[in-house]
Amino acid sequence: MTWAVHCFKAYDIRGIAYSELDASFAERLGQALATFLDCSALAVGRDIRESSPELHAAFVKGLTASGVDVHDLNICTTGALYHATASLKVDGGVMITASHNPPEYNGFKMCRGTAAMAGAEIQDLRAVFESGDFRPSDGSGSHIILDDFTNQHLTAVVSAAGKILRPVHAVIDSANAVPGPFMVALAEMLGSTGSAIHCQWDNTFPNHPPDPTRPKNMVDLAEAVVSNGAEFGVGVDGDGDRIGVVDERGRFIHPDRLLAVFAEDVLTNIPKSASEEARTVIHDVKCSMALEHTIRQNGGIPHMMRTGHSFLKQALREMPQCPLAGEMSGHFFFHDRWNGFDDSLYGFARLVELVARRLPKGEPFSSLFDNIPNFPSTGEAKVPLIGERFATMDAVKEAFSDMVSNQADGVRVRYDGHLGVSAGWFLCRPSNTEPILVMRAEAENEDGLSAIREDVTRRIGHVIDLSLFHSA
């Protein structure tokens, strides 16, 4: 049989349900994962996609046949699954979901212990999957149904967020995805008085895709905030590990600016005499230099690294005193009063707590961003990758070899002091999931941004079609 092994991606396994990912694939994956992890117990959850019950049943069958006790969370958010890996006696966990992808997709997010699997580890699992050399199937594993775990998760979220000092009027939009009912229940527990839209489960996502980092998906939320006179609005992604926000006027707030607000708040509780690690805030290469500025202004140390939620969580494990990490995609990892996992429910709770405390008289939500610079930038351009990925990126690196750059993930070039630009940067990185190059540029002023665009064209315009970059 030919298996769709191309579905083993950088951060997870993801593909078209029923064709690439079917019941036989899921059962075999259960056997392969049990062998690869050599585990005795795993937590397993799923989203509401049409294909999820079938994939879930087959996957559990593969695990239990291989002697693994399955702690079944049933329908839950990915954040709840992550919480399960830390609070239950399990060796890891698996969430069956395709997050914000269209309804025909599905996938598997996997953890070894509390660590999300990624990169080479997933490819090593692929090798075991392909080989079929699995540990003996004796069927000794148990299937344990945990009906109340999602309630336990909500209670833990509320406890860790801290006391809410006043009612907060926030609107929630869950895009009809998994987090909806859980977000509504959480809002009630927090004392949030806002309304909820698109929070009923519908696996066709009839209103808009569940991706809160795209402004076009936040239009309904923006309208609801304005019409209800709410303080702000929160959108969540398909499986509940990312959030996006709009302010009181319905204006979209880029996630790196929200991260700056979180960083400012977290760092106020950390003394300047603390260790460098305790003052470090981790962010990915796509984030604005305004974030770096805010971190430094508040006594912190910015640490830039490659994009990918799994990689940021790995960095937090290597720096256990680091209080916060986040990335442009809306993943936020609180590591002060929480366990460092990206969890939409906790992100929402933490934001409600912050707003109630920092804006005690109901001051405008947008005032939280008054101290954060707003530099001119391009949008995030997704430029088609023509040709071989590594050869193209080698050409980009060579074109900017005379510049100071960070190459942790693609090439992020600093323009500080070049071409009359006092501060600015350009990023070109290959996507881990699509045949595209992700590009973005930012400068202290519009003239600087224009100068960077022109220089990028001069250096790589003959190698890459930059029309989408210039229109971003």
Mind listing the pLDDT tens digit for each residue in 173-225? Answer: 999 999 999 999 999 999 988 899 999 999 999 999 999 999 999 999 999 99
Cα separation values, 7 from 20, 33, 97, 234, Å: 8, 15, 13, 31
Give the closest residue to 344 by CA, choosing from 267, 433, 266, 255: 255
Provide the pLDDT for residue 159: 97
- The residues of the chain that CATH labels 3.30.310.50 are 381-471
Provide the pLDDT for residue 472: 87
Each residue's pLDDT tens digit, 280-332: 999 999 999 999 999 999 999 999 999 888 889 989 999 999 999 999 999 99
**Rounded to whole angstroms, how far apart are CA atoms 31 and 28?**
5
> Which H helix or E strand runs over 297?
helix 289-297
Indicate the average pLDDT of the chain.
Answer: 95
pLDDT above 90 for 376: yes
- 238 Cβ contact list (under 8 Å, min separation 6): 47, 97, 98, 99, 100, 101, 175, 177, 178, 205, 210, 211
- The residues of the chain that CATH labels 3.40.120.10 are 5-147, 152-369
Structure tokens at 426: 């350009």
> What is the second-level CATH architecture of the domain 5-147?
3-Layer(aba) Sandwich (3.40)
What's the pTM? 0.94
Provide the pLDDT for residue 337: 93
Q: Which of the residues 51, 52, 66, 99 is marked catalytic?
A: 99
Q: Stretch 55-80: mean pLDDT, rounded?
A: 98
Q: Are 288 and 261 in contact (CB under 8 A)?
A: no
Confidence class of residue 65 from pLDDT cuts 50, 70 and 90? Answer: very high
What's the topology of domain 381-471? TATA-Binding Protein (3.30.310)
Among 142-146, 317-321, 431-435, the range scoring the smallest mean pLDDT is 431-435
Structure tokens at 157: 């979220």
Instruction: Specify the CATH superfamily of domain 152-369.
Output: Alpha-D-Glucose-1,6-Bisphosphate, subunit A, domain 3 (3.40.120.10)
Each residue's pLDDT tens digit, 93-140: 999 999 999 999 999 999 999 999 988 999 999 999 999 999 988 889
pLDDT above 80 for 433: no
Q: Exposed/middle/buried for 168, CB within 10 Å: 0-12, 13-18, 19+? A: buried
> Is 99 among the residues known to form the active site?
yes
